[in-house]
Amino acid sequence: MPIGSALWRSLRAYQVYGANTDVGKTIMATLLCRALERRFPGEGVWYLKPVSTGLREEADDRHVARFSGSSTHCLFQFDEPVSPHIAARPFRLPPDSSILQKIFTQLSDYASISPGTVLLETAGGVHSPTPSGTSQADFYRPLRLPVVFVADHRLGGVSTSVSAFESLHMRGYDVDSVMLFRDTRYQNDEYLSEFFKNHGISTFSLPSPPVRRDCAREDGEAMAEYYERVTKLDEVDEMISLSVTRHKARVESLETLANRANKHIWYPFTQHGDMSPSSIMAIDSAHGDFFQTCKPNPSGRTLEASTLIQPTFDGSASWWTQGLGHANPTLSLAASYAAGRYGHVMFAGGIHEPALSLAELLLKAINNPRLQRVFYSDNGSSGMEIAIKMGLRAASVRYGWGGDSCSGSGEEVGILGLKGSYHGDTLGAMDCSEPSAFNRKVEWYRGRGFWFDYPRVKMIKGTWVVEPPEGLEDELGPGASFASLGAVFDVEARKRSCRDRSYKKYILSTLERLIKEERKRFGALVMEPVVLGAGGMVLVDPLFQHTLATVIRSTPRLFPPSSSPSPLPLNTWTGIPIITDEVFTGLYRLGRPASSSFLHIHPDISVYAKLLTGGLVPLCATAASESVFEAFLGEGKESALLHGHSYTAHAVGCKVAEVAVRELAGMEEAWKGFRKDWLEGTSRASSTEPEVWSHWSKNFVGELSHAKDVESVIAIGSILAISLHDHTGAGYTSTAANAVQKKLFSSTRANWNIHARVLGNVLYLMASQTASEETIRAVEGVMRDVLL
């Protein structure tokens, strides 16, 4: 299970990385061991070589043991003096995660013995492969040990040292100090001292070791003399002092992070009145599905041997952004490539390859024949405002509503939506939501539109049901249960049901009342397809969303015919433009590129963000049909879509997104286990029944739905949402789920915990798209402990 970052107050643990093989890592480690023994006689000094290749008698740990008094360990030893991935071939080794776990356990053991220092020496260079073939820099990254970097003193060593440093740096390692041998000819130490100084890192150059002799005894004597002499040098002592200082500083910085934040940070969506430093989670780093968070240690000294950092499952996928896991090196590399090729280049009237490639890829992935144009922005809220501007203008132009907003001559045009929808925090996006706790105190908020109530899908006590909203049972039909979630999503089959007819009738009569009787104007239908996120993770009956869109598109009497009598070209929007807000549900959250495909509709405008960059940087894409685009064509600038942020289509975001979308599209194989769990053994009720599945196991979801405190559950794609009984009816301001949230966070099972977010009485969990079955099942285990 998750590996923790290795940080203890009493144990200083360093990882010795080399710029290349044969740069003197072991000699430097030996020197440091000796110097530490000398400096801290009462403390432990350990040397750990996880993987060693080459003859046992010449192995690095033997060398350290021979020339120092430190305790040494080697976990895997292969005789062949080649890279571990070749040397290990004849053997069957445990998977990477168990090896890393073993290393972490070994470090923890040292910490439990006494205060002291451990040096973990890697094999070869930073990217030398581990036995499984993973690069060491990636393999060891979860521990994120501070690095003692041994630079290369030889010809060419400036280059290999700088590159190796960059490889570590871009994986989020902190290089604590640099050591290398002094070489008067190549003088790499001089160049590199200056280079590392610019990165705030001190370099220590030491005398070269004696030249290797043929006679083992002489060689040993020469080395002994070398160690005796060099151990006592001021540089070595200084380096140890610096390491001690930096270790203390790291601990202190981590432990004061929350206090300092409490003074200067104004948090999003947070009532600071309830806040104290202890309620702020200090995040040291993150990896995969886990944060590495500062473990509160109120009792002080007694727990010194325990780690200061614990893995915390990122149960909201960091506000719904994480698709490919934290600190994904593929995304870091993509980001740095775009930064190095372009930085950011302005986008109005210009084009760069990442922006275009992403647009083409995205349009292909979402596979909606209507969508032909991509408009970039920075976040879902901005992207939704753009979508609204597009939709309203298209309707206004076609129906001749084109008033001048400045003079106030135009009549108000609103949107049609669903109750509980949420589209973002900027004002135009807020105005698309009905009045609620989110906007009650926003001075300029003004809901503009009409919001339909709708039947909800949920699992209650083991059964999937479609439940009409209170008071609408007569119009929309009574609650109904289904054999599977797939059957609920079988829109094709359900379209022939009498329920579909009631939906149609209800929608039509409501629209006729609003438009014909109340003389209201609507310029767009705006929907989050399938799941309403911020509104409480509500699973909407897909048939209702399908029918709503269909009625709007196919009832010309609701909207006056276009003034132009010419027949509309194919793919032209009818009724009013349909906008799907796929910021939350789009791009494989539910296992499909476009979640509107569950509704069997092709929207005219569709908005993607969050998962778009796999979870690294903000970016949003609003895709639109040519038919909507054409409403903005004209001669002057005034009729253009006058929207555009400075960093529109920033190259870093576009390149990262291009890589992320490709990676997400290639996840089918990784999801096989999840799909199997949901789909195997179930008989489909009709040939049109789609495959609907979740990362969260079918049994687990069923069990949860029977729990005492649970009203209902939904699970689809990577989303799990648990609605708890809420007797206060406080909605978003309810605190029903807070007790569960607290228990998950304070769970100490296996040294990790869960950070979950709540929306009123709903507690949800969300994994990244790359989360492993092992991780998900382990989280389910903790949930069972807490809720069942």
Range 246-265, binding a second copy (CB under 8 A): 253, 257-258, 260-261, 263-265
State residue 414 phi and psi, 5-degree precision. Answer: -110, -175
CB of 255 to a second copy, least distance (A): 12
Between the CA of residue 535 and those of 127, 421, 433, 737, what are the distances in Å?
46, 6, 10, 15
For the segment 14-33, give every residue that binds a second copy (CB under 8 A): 20-22
CB of 306 to a second copy, least distance (A): 22
The reply on whether position 142 binds a second copy by CB under 8 A is no
For the segment 530-569, give every residue that binds a second copy (CB under 8 A): none
- Give the integer Cα–Cα distance in Å for 179 and 47: 17
Indicate which single residue of 12, 458, 589, 610 sits in contact with a second copy (rule: CB under 8 A).
610
Of 83 and 177, which has the nearer Cβ to a second copy? Answer: 83
For the segment 694-733, give every residue that binds a second copy (CB under 8 A): 732-733
Residues 6+ positions from 193 with CB-CB distance below 8 Å: 203, 205
The reply on whether position 205 binds a second copy by CB under 8 A is no
For the segment 646-665, give every residue that binds a second copy (CB under 8 A): 646-648, 650, 652-653
Of 10 and 382, which has the nearer Cβ to a second copy? Answer: 382
User: How many residues in total does the chain contain?
Assistant: 788
Three-state DSSP at 235 gives helix
State residue 395 phi and psi, 5-degree precision. Answer: -65, -45
What's the number of CA atoms in the CB half-sphere (13 Å) around residue 420? 21
CB of 625 to a second copy, least distance (A): 11
Which of these ranges, 339-347, 470-478, 506-514, 585-593, lies near a second copy under the rule CB under 8 A?
339-347
Three-state DSSP at 198 gives coil
The reply on whether position 8 binds a second copy by CB under 8 A is no
Of 236 and 587, which has the nearer Cβ to a second copy? Answer: 587
Indicate which single residue of 41, 273, 298, 471 sits in contact with a second copy (rule: CB under 8 A).
273
The answer to whether 338 and 651 have CB atoms below 8 angstroms apart is yes
Distance of CA 382 to the CA centre of its chain: 21
The reply on whether position 160 binds a second copy by CB under 8 A is yes
Of 394 and 692, which has the nearer Cβ to a second copy? Answer: 394
Indicate which single residue of 342, 479, 685, 726 sits in contact with a second copy (rule: CB under 8 A).
342
Among 689, 681, 686, 674, smallest CA distance to 780 is for: 674
Residues 6+ positions from 787 with CB-CB distance below 8 Å: 704, 707, 709, 710, 722, 740
Three-state DSSP at 502 gives helix
Rg of the chain, C-alpha, whole Å = 31
- Give the integer Cα–Cα distance in Å for 44 and 297: 23
Indicate which single residue of 219, 255, 353, 512 sits in contact with a second copy (rule: CB under 8 A).
353
CB of 36 to a second copy, least distance (A): 27
The reply on whether position 666 binds a second copy by CB under 8 A is no
- Give the integer Cα–Cα distance in Å for 82 and 55: 11
The reply on whether position 589 binds a second copy by CB under 8 A is no
Between the CA of residue 782 and those of 313, 571, 705, 743, 779, what are the distances in Å?
11, 49, 16, 10, 5
Binding mask 413-452 for a second copy (x = CB under 8 A): x----------xxxxxx-x---xxxxxxxxxxxxxx----
**CA distance between the termini of the chain:** 22
The per-residue b/e assignment along 479-490, b for 16 or more CB within 10 angstroms, e otherwise, is eeebebbbbbbb
Of 356 and 460, which has the nearer Cβ to a second copy? Answer: 356
The reply on whether position 366 binds a second copy by CB under 8 A is no
The reply on whether position 380 binds a second copy by CB under 8 A is yes
Of 407 and 683, which has the nearer Cβ to a second copy? Answer: 407
Which of these ranges, 475-483, 568-576, 642-650, 664-672, lies near a second copy under the rule CB under 8 A?
642-650
Which of these ranges, 181-189, 227-235, 472-480, 707-715, lies near a second copy under the rule CB under 8 A?
181-189
For the segment 442-501, give every residue that binds a second copy (CB under 8 A): 442-448
One-character DSSP codes across 27-55: HHHHHHHHHHHHH-TTSEEEEEEEEEES-
Of 269 and 680, which has the nearer Cβ to a second copy? Answer: 269
Indicate which single residue of 224, 640, 670, 750 sits in contact with a second copy (rule: CB under 8 A).
640
Among 642, 625, 516, smallest CA distance to 577 is for: 625
Of 268 and 681, which has the nearer Cβ to a second copy? Answer: 268
Which of these ranges, 101-109, 152-160, 535-543, 684-692, lies near a second copy under the rule CB under 8 A?
152-160
The reply on whether position 526 binds a second copy by CB under 8 A is no
Which of these ranges, 58-66, 179-187, 535-543, 693-701, lies near a second copy under the rule CB under 8 A?
179-187
The reply on whether position 683 binds a second copy by CB under 8 A is no
Indicate which single residue of 115, 210, 410, 673 sits in contact with a second copy (rule: CB under 8 A).
410
Binding mask 276-305 for a second copy (x = CB under 8 A): ---xxxxxxxx----x--------------
Which of these ranges, 233-241, 384-392, 451-459, 682-690, lies near a second copy under the rule CB under 8 A?
384-392
The answer to whether 651 and 352 have CB atoms below 8 angstroms apart is yes
The answer to whether 391 and 524 have CB atoms below 8 angstroms apart is yes
Among 451, 480, 483, smallest CA distance to 543 is for: 480
Which of these ranges, 103-111, 450-458, 495-503, 634-642, lies near a second copy under the rule CB under 8 A?
634-642
The reply on whether position 172 binds a second copy by CB under 8 A is yes
CB of 575 to a second copy, least distance (A): 17
Indicate which single residue of 77, 97, 106, 163 sits in contact with a second copy (rule: CB under 8 A).
163
CB of 731 to a second copy, least distance (A): 11
- Give the integer Cα–Cα distance in Å for 496 and 685: 14
The reply on whether position 596 binds a second copy by CB under 8 A is no
Which of these ranges, 351-359, 535-543, 669-677, 721-729, lies near a second copy under the rule CB under 8 A?
351-359
Compute, in degrees rounded to 10, the torsion defined by CA atoms 190, 195, 197, 203: -50
CB of 591 to a second copy, least distance (A): 20
The reply on whether position 503 binds a second copy by CB under 8 A is no
Among 694, 675, 578, smallest CA distance to 625 is for: 578
The answer to whether 677 and 698 have CB atoms below 8 angstroms apart is yes
CB of 573 to a second copy, least distance (A): 16
Rounded to whole angstroms, the maximal C-alpha distance in the chain is: 104
- Give the integer Cα–Cα distance in Å for 165 and 151: 9
- Give the integer Cα–Cα distance in Å for 577 and 603: 8
**735 sits in which H/E element:** none
Cα angle 126-130-133, degrees, rounded to a multiple of 5: 110
State residue 450 phi and psi, 5-degree precision. Answer: -135, 140
Indicate which single residue of 1, 75, 86, 667 sits in contact with a second copy (rule: CB under 8 A).
86
For the four alpha carbons of 432, 434, 439 and 440, in that order, the dihedral sign comes to positive
Of 591 and 653, which has the nearer Cβ to a second copy? Answer: 653
For the segment 105-124, give every residue that binds a second copy (CB under 8 A): 124
For the segment 740-759, give every residue that binds a second copy (CB under 8 A): 757
CB of 304 to a second copy, least distance (A): 23
State residue 467 phi and psi, 5-degree precision. Answer: -120, 120
Indicate which single residue of 115, 210, 296, 402 sits in contact with a second copy (rule: CB under 8 A).
402
Number of residues that bind a second copy (CB under 8 A): 184
- Give the integer Cα–Cα distance in Å for 307 and 363: 47
Of 222 and 257, which has the nearer Cβ to a second copy? Answer: 257
Specify the pairing of strand 538-540 against strand 531-532: antiparallel
For the four alpha carbons of 597, 601, 602 and 604, in that order, the dihedral sign comes to negative
The reply on whether position 155 binds a second copy by CB under 8 A is yes
